[in-house]
Structure 1
């Protein structure tokens, strides 16, 4: 309430002071000097009434402030009969206050989404039946029923196995299966059938309540932004008073002292610096980064240690199909087609990625004749006369999986993947492996952040250690902290403060405490507002994490320009103050000179509006269209790349059949190589132009050449073997398998390289 009144008062003073100054100018122009003087005196008095309370309050708190110079200058202007100078000073003060208030304002609604999401009631099971009670009335030992899609209201212990979405607490998008007897925390969402829990805490001491308290405490611990003007005031205010007093004492003329004060009015501090900061905020907004105030921008500019969440920040935050494993005697693509056809009607979190993978492979989907969602297990239905089930491995294979299912489980564990089995007409047909993929632009973001001045980057995630370590290696962070709770992330921030100002980057509710506690909290909100975006100082509204490095460069440049404008303006003011003290500048001429200095300082500050030399890569519409076309071809070749590995897997030394390898070679020569040559001719020059360096794409060109070299070697080998069932010996099969696995590895690495260096320049739609 006080802040709102203060903002309205600043605006009122700005408008009234402008009207008084302009009205006096009109009166003077129309030969009414008395009216002009009265209006300018009123403007000066308004400035005194406006600035004096804040100056007195700062003095009582023993906080240095440049406002004392403004008070003395306004009073002195009235004393020596220079009301015009006083009216101008009032306008400058009001303008600076309004700009500063807007630039330094920050949202304080970080608890709104947390509290709105918190359950208000709980369903308690009693001998008389089910009763709905206020969540605060739930006691330890109560039996509560949590329906599908509901938030668990209080920490408890499961009475039966259940599936939960724990992303609110861990930030991980993968559904978690909990067995009977396991503990479940409040704040997670029941993603399966209705489940019964036995409460182990009260609502006040539960996990979710503790999360809300963490946000409150962390927000309270955030250090306030100290204005640049206040820092300069420590030296500037005493110097000004000493010089003005010395001039009066030496000459015996109080006019000289007033002239010094008028010239010393710190408008470069009050106006030029906020203009540079506001310009930086505007530049960042055009890059898709909302910085909540000048304080946040300055802190972002000096950020040296960064803690980054994984899910949704360094990874997509949404599962994607990474591999297909066909069961013996089944076709993987056909199994995927049937599964995706059935999943079209499912709202399960894994249904969307399966449908997308099928469409990306060009498979034709049909609507199922019947469909049934089995909570916590999967989907069953009929597609084109086939009985199809898609869901959890234990639901498909039962408690005793066969050799193929165990192999799938082992492969999923090694890759850190989720597995979904597809059953067709009562037989397991294929396994769909899903992963949360690393963002293609994440490694470039890390490199750009280091170039922008970040000395240390730590990955802190609630995910498993092996998955976290893999992501950390790919993107190039300095340290990986896995299986982190919100409290662990706060502890990590505290440790990183020894390396400098801290920046926290995240996108989940679980990140809100750390976002509020860090010197700068950065949230990703491209997929919608969350509690993290409310708690953060900086919000990325584009689905491109590299924009954070762009914003940091903008912040550093804006801060540098702000300091330059202050240094030049105050330096010239010091020269003018000396001249005024020596009697070379009367108050009227000094006021005019001060306005020239102010305009110069403002002109320097306005450079922050212009783009810097190190702005983000700019792409023309033609370049974007070219990237989109090549990316479509690139994605369409993914099944062919996976086919290389499957053909190698199917080779046997006993009676080898090389027909699949020959068919694969034909596809590589007619589909893959033309695409790679087109990439070399069109994609490589485009990326080099966008990044401003041909060295940046040298590795891309080298991998194009290596792919073609490996395909040529494959052609030579198959031509040398000849046709016929007995043409290939065991040593030929070994060499062929070696070539295929080598080509597969090169293709996978090359595709990841293209995603990172080229296609990440324009984010994919929908992901």
Structure 2
């Protein structure tokens, strides 16, 4: 019985369509009585089904357009128009099937949440380890959580642990929790096995609360009312008044039948769904899956946009942001190559970031040997002829870190990043700084959203206020709400919904309640399915959030076209109804005229299939390939930029050697400047073609000139210092006097700042235009 209920609308569509085709064939080719019988049967089926739907709507105290369909079907059978009745039945089935597909989401929203919840827990007893159902865990039980497992209940750590809390907080970086710290259910053990003591049962734990929040949010969401039903509130009574009035005034029941026939609501039943489905199809082409016409209409009406931070406005996974070397004698590129070679065998999320950075720089990695992992400390092994160690500062350098390591710590605290220290052949060599970078297309997307009609943009995140504020300033949001747990996010949605229709964009279990409560929930699923994608109305399957602005424009246009199709179709039907009521349009002619009106309304609706205004930047294949090559060169120059700061940091007020500065200047001349000139000659013109004007590249062009100017100044300063040394004016050859060091550091830090800003501008303004290898836009 359950199988039949879930497929009844599909079966109605298949049966009515098949019988219509068979009946029409016999109607045209013969024997005609067979065809007439089949068509009458189809119309009768539609009559019975529409009567059932009307009865259901009455029970639910709803008004429905199906009243018009019922009257039209009855009228068609009464005047002997079975073909028209059969067509109406198919249109009824089509509309109901489309609505059913959209409603199916409600039955699936909690599936991934429930699947992710642990079923069992490993309880430690006097007799050993015992796997028990999670519902059997009691407060005070000792629970063992192995590497990669989800914490089953809230508890307190018996020893220090490393946890991935992104499912609840959205923060992508693993968190080190000391012994005695409280741990919430739903987080993942990212380190060695840990023991905790349960402080709550499964039903009282955090993860169960997230599931309940989703259920409550769904229960509070108002149901979507179809545009066709709103029109029917006026159209149905008007149809009845005209039909009864024509019959009463003329005494001719044929006039009433003619009114009912031309009142067949095909523009409502088919034209509007065609426009909506066209919008859904166009959105899918750019990698945006909109779950039904209701979600599309709400997306078009949204005016307040709320974003989670991690994985939404940021990449959602750590990336190498800087390399700090212990001294200028250490080759940063070689140290990165050795560290990445060792990290190839590690599954740690930070290891992946280091390996990715090395691959982007085209470094040749080796397979390590003698690899050993010290849980909670780091990784060691042999790469080629070198012994390499990666991990915590204390494990690499002991209890008394040198000055450069303390500087790394300060930078980590200021930037909110993470550090991984490295030693080569037993000697501390440097540290890698990792952070969750902002998506290059995020600022462009926010600007596009405002152009699409979004009046307010809010960043709501579980992350710290300083990190969230920095992202908010760069991206350009109106308000930042930091340190918000799932319940706080739900409250923020409720508050913002009082002002206008809301759209919530998130990525993770912690966002699921807010996604369900918002007018439209948007989830990012480019890295795989999550509970957020199940709770969302819209899912982005591409790793480009700027597609959301285009999806809103598509939704707005589809809704506008649907309204035009309904208005024109029903307006012409209204005129035909008046003509029929006056006796100038017999039922047969009225049926033919209604078909013409239907075709016109459908033709208007099909305009939604045609491309409309979007923010999508289209680029020729040759330009895309050129941009990708330049991006590879861009990534390769990042090491040179990192070297600038390292050289500047190493300069002291005492007499400093000029050799590192000279070597750096040589790299700037041979590696960096040729790339910047190639960008000026190749990247900027293709940007102008894509964005439609040279003004879009004026800032980048000016920065290219400034970089070349500053590198030239550095070269002239070095030449002057070397000349002074040869003439004996500065004492020791190859060394800089204290006053010269000040000028050198000023130049280097200034050049470093310009290059960091310039690289960010290029990534946002140029490279974010280039489709990824798997994007539908390519």
Using structure 2 for the length normalisation, give the TM-score: 0.94
Moved more, 348-357 or 37-46: 37-46
Aligned to 1:232: 231
Query: Secondary structure of the residue that 2:118 maps to in structure 1?
Result: coil
| Post-superposition offset of 1:560 | 0.9
Question: Would the aligned equivalents of 1:141 and 1:198 in 2 still touch at CA under 8 Å?
Answer: yes
Residue 448 of structure 2 is aligned to residue 440 of structure 1: no
Aligned to 1:641: 641
Query: Secondary structure of the residue that 1:381 maps to in structure 2?
Result: strand
Question: Would the aligned equivalents of 1:526 and 1:543 in 2 still touch at CA under 8 Å?
Answer: yes
| Post-superposition offset of 1:386 | 3.8
Number of paired residues? 766
| Post-superposition offset of 1:257 | 1.5
Residue 635 of structure 2 is aligned to residue 631 of structure 1: no
**Equivalent residue for 1:734, pick from 742, 760, 774:** 742
Q: Distance in 2 between matches of 1:152 and 1:298?
A: 39
Aligned to 2:759: 751
Residue 131 of structure 2 is aligned to residue 132 of structure 1: yes
Q: Which digits, 9 at most, give the CA deviation of each residue in 1:622-668, with x for residues without a partner?
A: 12111111101111111111222222223334334333333333332
Aligned to 2:88: 89
Question: Would the aligned equivalents of 1:186 and 1:208 in 2 still touch at CA under 8 Å?
Answer: yes
Aligned to 1:68: 67
Query: Secondary structure of the residue that 1:198 maps to in structure 2?
Result: strand
Using structure 1 for the length normalisation, give the TM-score: 0.95
- In structure 2, relative to structure 1, the CA distance for the partners of 1:354 and 1:267 (3 Å cut) is same
Aligned to 2:49: 50
Aligned to 1:120: 119
| Post-superposition offset of 1:443 | 0.8
Aligned to 1:5: 4
Q: Distance in 2 between matches of 1:608 and 1:50?
A: 30
Aligned to 1:707: 707
Q: Which digits, 9 at most, give the CA deviation of each residue in 1:333-389, with x for residues without a partner?
A: 343333222212212111121122234344443333311112222112233444332
Question: Would the aligned equivalents of 1:85 and 1:588 in 2 still touch at CA under 8 Å?
Answer: no
- In structure 2, relative to structure 1, the CA distance for the partners of 1:402 and 1:744 (3 Å cut) is closer
Aligned to 2:459: 459
| Post-superposition offset of 1:308 | 0.9
Aligned to 2:733: none
Residue 216 of structure 2 is aligned to residue 217 of structure 1: yes
Question: Would the aligned equivalents of 1:388 and 1:425 in 2 still touch at CA under 8 Å?
Answer: yes
Aligned to 1:154: 153
| Post-superposition offset of 1:153 | 1.5
Aligned to 1:165: 164
Q: Distance in 2 between matches of 1:24 and 1:428?
A: 84
Q: Distance in 1 between matches of 2:566 and 2:466?
A: 50
Question: Would the aligned equivalents of 1:417 and 1:435 in 2 still touch at CA under 8 Å?
Answer: yes
| Post-superposition offset of 1:470 | 0.9
Aligned to 1:295: 294
| Post-superposition offset of 1:578 | 1.3
Question: Would the aligned equivalents of 1:244 and 1:581 in 2 still touch at CA under 8 Å?
Answer: yes
Q: 1:480-495 residue pairs with structure 2 within 5 A?
A: 480-495=480-495
| Post-superposition offset of 1:43 | 3.0
Aligned to 2:274: 275
Residue 672 of structure 2 is aligned to residue 672 of structure 1: yes
Question: Would the aligned equivalents of 1:108 and 1:535 in 2 still touch at CA under 8 Å?
Answer: no
Moved more, 333-342 or 314-323: 333-342
Question: Would the aligned equivalents of 1:108 and 1:534 in 2 still touch at CA under 8 Å?
Answer: no
Q: Which digits, 9 at most, give the CA deviation of each residue in 1:221-249, with x for residues without a partner?
A: 33222111111112111111112222222
Question: Would the aligned equivalents of 2:655 and 2:738 in 1 still touch at CA under 8 Å?
Answer: no
Q: Distance in 1 between matches of 2:668 and 2:205?
A: 58
- In structure 2, relative to structure 1, the CA distance for the partners of 1:339 and 1:78 (3 Å cut) is closer
Query: Secondary structure of the residue that 2:337 maps to in structure 1?
Result: helix
Question: Would the aligned equivalents of 1:103 and 1:274 in 2 still touch at CA under 8 Å?
Answer: no
Residue 593 of structure 2 is aligned to residue 585 of structure 1: no
| Post-superposition offset of 1:164 | 1.0
- In structure 2, relative to structure 1, the CA distance for the partners of 1:388 and 1:703 (3 Å cut) is same
- In structure 2, relative to structure 1, the CA distance for the partners of 1:15 and 1:430 (3 Å cut) is closer
- In structure 2, relative to structure 1, the CA distance for the partners of 1:231 and 1:693 (3 Å cut) is farther
| Post-superposition offset of 1:434 | 0.4
| Post-superposition offset of 1:745 | 1.1
Aligned to 2:351: 351
| Post-superposition offset of 1:138 | 1.6
Aligned to 1:412: 412
- In structure 2, relative to structure 1, the CA distance for the partners of 1:115 and 1:277 (3 Å cut) is same
| Post-superposition offset of 1:408 | 1.3
Aligned to 1:575: 575
Aligned to 2:429: 429
Q: Distance in 2 between matches of 1:357 and 1:34?
A: 75
Q: Which digits, 9 at most, give the CA deviation of each residue in 1:715-735, with x for residues without a partner?
A: 333344443544465444323
| Post-superposition offset of 1:704 | 1.7
Aligned to 2:242: 243
Q: 1:217-616 residue pairs with structure 2 within 5 A?
A: 217-328=216-327, 330-614=330-614, 616=616
Question: Would the aligned equivalents of 1:99 and 1:275 in 2 still touch at CA under 8 Å?
Answer: no
Moved more, 215-224 or 318-327: 215-224
- In structure 2, relative to structure 1, the CA distance for the partners of 1:130 and 1:277 (3 Å cut) is same
Q: Distance in 2 between matches of 1:31 and 1:143?
A: 80
Q: Distance in 2 between matches of 1:263 and 1:459?
A: 52
- In structure 2, relative to structure 1, the CA distance for the partners of 1:257 and 1:165 (3 Å cut) is same
| Post-superposition offset of 1:142 | 1.7
**Equivalent residue for 2:770, pick from 750, 753, 762:** 762
Query: Secondary structure of the residue that 1:741 maps to in structure 2?
Result: helix
| Post-superposition offset of 1:207 | 1.0
| Post-superposition offset of 1:216 | 2.2
Question: Would the aligned equivalents of 1:550 and 1:615 in 2 still touch at CA under 8 Å?
Answer: yes
